[in-house]
A and B are shown apart, each in its own frame.
Chain A
Amino acid sequence: MQFGLSESQRILKENARRFFASECPMSEVRRIAQTETAHDEALWRKMAAQGFPGVVIAEEAGGLGLGHVELAALAEEMGRALAPGGFLSTITAAAAIAAAGSRQYLAGIAAGTVKATVAFLESSASWDPEDVKMRGLTGEKRFVPDAATADFLVVATRESGELALYLVPRGALQITAMPALDLTRRLYKVRFENAGGDLLARGEAARRALERAFDVATVALCAEMTGGMQKMLDIAVEYAKTRKQFGRPIGQYQAVQHACADMLLWTESSRSAAYYAAWALDSASPPEASMAVSIAKSYASDACREVGNRAVQIQGGMGFTWENDTHFYYRRAKASEIAFGDAAYHRERIARMVFDQRLAGTTAG
């Protein structure tokens, strides 16, 4: 038993950190966040050259064929750098395609020539697949991330009462921005009018593919949230060491110091949970993996919000300014807390498994 990154995983993570530090420093994040779509094609191409979008796509399909621990390591660094744009959206779509047993678009995604997203939520804003009401390819999807820059969408819909997944080119779809808190990952309303598309999966296969895709995306998101938490902690600690009041660095006061200690506890615990879930996606049974994912997301959702709250508070007035970087992370933290189900959603998912299926025992040990 070894809970820690292997040598090659560590190298991948360090490379990613260096890459984002040089290609996507905060000045770039700010610039890209103020563009219309928060997507920068040049950055995307460079990321693709590193193989990032294809990290878990099979080698036969043009990807790197690595595991979800590697995906988590990469996502953590992207979260730390607050990399803007449609990476998470694209890997969610890719995971749905792969989980449905298809290879369509995967080579393009791995090569960086194709970007994608998943259109799932509707006006009910429910993450439960049972609540998908859209009939065929006519209707409206909401809160679709990065739809404006996606080349195609994986669309969850209902046909003859059954869940179905379609691959729909963005082409003629009517896309409207939904301005929201996070400036680095944009949300859209997408209107479908008898749109054309390829059937990816239906019925039980569609439900499974969607569940797997959301589990994969949620793990990547949890790792990304961990990276964001680490950055907010680093910013707050640095400030607490240098800012002096009453003749002492404020970090010397226990009210501040203990808040920093709590931030560390939440960050490290989120990290443990995210990497455990990433490992479970590759090495545990599907129900165990889903359980690990919900454990990670229920915890990280609360943790990233609280870490953000402390980060702003510790920096006082400075933490509340536009000029300070914290608010970009704080905005992302709230969006991430909501995405793929908030803490309460995932706790109910855990409760269903604990009460109703009584998942017994533990995976390790």
Chain B
Amino acid sequence: MDLNLNPKERAFRDEVRAWLDANAPRDWAARRQAEESLNARFTYLRQWQRKLFDAGWAGISWPVEYGGRGASVIEQMIFLEEMARAQAPPMANVIGLGLVGPTIIAFGSARQKQAYLRKILSAEEIWCQGFSEPNAGSDLAALSTEARREGGYFVVNGHKCWTSYGWVADRCELLVRTDPAAPKHKGLTALLVDMHSPGIEVRGLRQMSGECEFSEIFFRDVRVPVEDVLGEVNDGWRVAIGTLAHERGTFGAALHVTYRRNVNRLVELAREMGRDGDALVRQKLAQCYAEIEIMRFNQMRAFSRIKETGVPGPEGSIQKIFWSELNQRLQQVAMEILGPYGQLAQGAEDAIDGGEWAYGYLRSRGNTIEAGTSEIQRNIIGHFVLGLAKSY
């Protein structure tokens, strides 16, 4: 048990920190407030990722042969924390880096690894994840997008939704049904699909917070070469579980930095508003502070385990529940402290912090739904961690 960084990890952190000090753009926070087209903003993020890639900061824990750094998940965690501390813009290819890439590393063919991994790191090809459908959300294995084999191709027809980055993606890790006669988990296949193929139509999905982070995607006779099957045909469920484990287990790695910054800001605001002596406010802020730290401790434990086992396990669902429900509590505490000012949105003259709190409050509602609802996470813990009978 040693929670200090070892000399190698410390040297790595210092190197990241120094590089970010010298190179991270400082205008990201202001830019998010500014009126700017989604495309212009995304181009900016893409260029930023390219700069990180050129400096060797993309794919910290990926193998060197695919353009990664070959370091451990601990270094990966340190890097994400430093990015959050520097308030650096996120990398453009979030899904590629966090979900699809690690899945290709685990299940992909030699050709797929050569063809796709490096371009994920350099942001030359942006990825999305085509899993959910209108009638297959929590019950993902019930999906009905189908792929029929025709010679050297699979021909895909169907409809995906809640696809983050769908509107800008070059490629998609797509989960489809290839054997309608098999039990629902056994007839699925993962395909790596070129989003510029004929027959693909992408539409934006506007959220309650006002933005269009998600898309829905329609597939009409889209031809995917057989060599782009990820893993084995009809073994797509295992591939999907691998992807989802990354989503739950490691995605929240640096959130404690952002949450802590939010609480520090709330402490400042409470002081400015003369509420820092209010026992109730103190209790609630201290509760947030404690829970953020505990989220960080849980994260350190989880990453130490992943370093030993190589892959995130079902206990990653604890992390997912923790970060999503904590953010909702935190945003509610913010609303209570700010009082009537909390509701003022971006553009309002008297809005505090440019309306970030009103936005954050709405956006946090999605946290317990995206990446697997809290109910599904509790099913996973109940069955796969505690060994209780499947409830569904």
A residues near B, CB below 8 A? 1-6, 9, 69, 237, 240-241, 248-249, 251-254, 257-258, 260-262, 264-265, 268-269, 272-273, 275-276, 279, 283, 292, 294-295, 298-299, 344, 347-348, 350-351, 354-355, 358, 362-365
Contact = CB atoms under 8 A, between A and B. Distances in A.
A279 B388 contact: no
Given A251-B382, A257-B391, A350 B290 contact: yes
A193 to B, nearest CB: 38
A301 to B, nearest CB: 11
19 contacts: A1-B304, A2-B2, A240-B388, A252-B389, A252-B390, A254-B378, A257-B391, A258-B375, A260-B386, A261-B381, A261-B385, A275-B1, A276-B293, A295-B289, A298-B287, A348-B283, A348-B286, A350-B290, A365-B78
A260 B287 CA distance: 23
Nearest to A4: B304
Contacts, number: 165
B386 A264 contact: yes
A293 B377 CA distance: 29
A1 B73 CA distance: 11
A269 B286 contact: no
Contacts of B107: none
B382 A295 contact: no
Contacts of B283: 344, 347-348, 351
B74 A273 contact: no
A248 B294 CA distance: 36
B381 A251 contact: no
Given A272-B300, A276-B293, A347-B282, 19 more contacts: A1-B4, A4-B301, A4-B305, A4-B308, A69-B1, A249-B388, A257-B379, A260-B382, A260-B388, A261-B382, A268-B298, A268-B318, A272-B297, A283-B2, A299-B294, A347-B287, A354-B267, A354-B285, A363-B3
Contacts of B124: none
B72 to A, nearest CB: 10
Given A1-B74, A351-B286, A354-B286, A254 B391 contact: yes
Nearest to A365: B81
B379 A299 contact: no
B39 interface: no
Contact of B3 (A253, A258, A268, A283): A283
What are the 5 A-B residue pairs with the smallest beta carbon separation, nearest first? A257-B382, A251-B388, A347-B286, A351-B282, A272-B297
B228 interface: no
B5 to A, nearest CB: 5
A100 B304 CA distance: 36
A101 to B, nearest CB: 27
A354 B388 contact: no
Nearest to A295: B290
B201 interface: no
Contacts of B375: 254, 258
A38 to B, nearest CB: 32
Which residue, B78, B271, B294, has most C-beta atoms of chain A within 10 A? B294
Nearest to A9: B1
B9 interface: yes
A251 B382 CA distance: 8
Nearest to A248: B389
Nearest to A349: B286
B1 A264 contact: no
Given A252-B391, A299-B290, A3 B297 contact: yes
B235 interface: no
B4 A272 contact: no
B291 interface: yes
Q: Which of B5, B300, B307 has the most CB of A within 10 A?
A: B300
A283 to B, nearest CB: 7
Contacts of B379: 254, 257-258, 261
Interface in B1-50: 1-6, 9, 13
Interface residues of B, number: 54
B322 A269 contact: yes
Contacts of B223: none
Contacts of A254: 375, 378-379, 382, 391
Contacts of B4: 1, 283, 364
The residue in B6, B300, B377, B386 that gathers the most chain A C-beta atoms within 10 A of its C-beta is B386
A1 B322 contact: no
Nearest to A5: B1
Contact of A1 (B3, B377, B388): B3
A350 B284 CA distance: 11
A3 B9 CA distance: 14
Contact of A262 (B1, B296, B378): B378
A5 B301 CA distance: 10
B95 interface: no
Contact of A269 (B294, B304, B308, B389): B294
B286 A265 contact: no
Contacts of B386: 237, 251, 257, 260-261, 264
Contact of B290 (A258, A260, A347): A347
A111 B185 CA distance: 61
A223 to B, nearest CB: 13
B304 A295 contact: no
B279 to A, nearest CB: 8
A3 B286 contact: no
B213 interface: no
B289 A3 contact: no
A3 B388 contact: no
Contacts of A347: 282-283, 286-287, 290
B152 interface: no
A258 B378 contact: yes
A302 to B, nearest CB: 9
B221 interface: no
B13 A269 contact: no
Contacts of B385: 261, 264
Nearest to B260: A362
Contacts of A264: 318, 381, 385-386
A262 B318 CA distance: 9
Contacts of B74: 1
Nearest to B318: A265
B276 interface: yes
Contacts of B303: 3
A226 to B, nearest CB: 12
B287 A257 contact: no
Contacts of B276: 355
B387 interface: yes
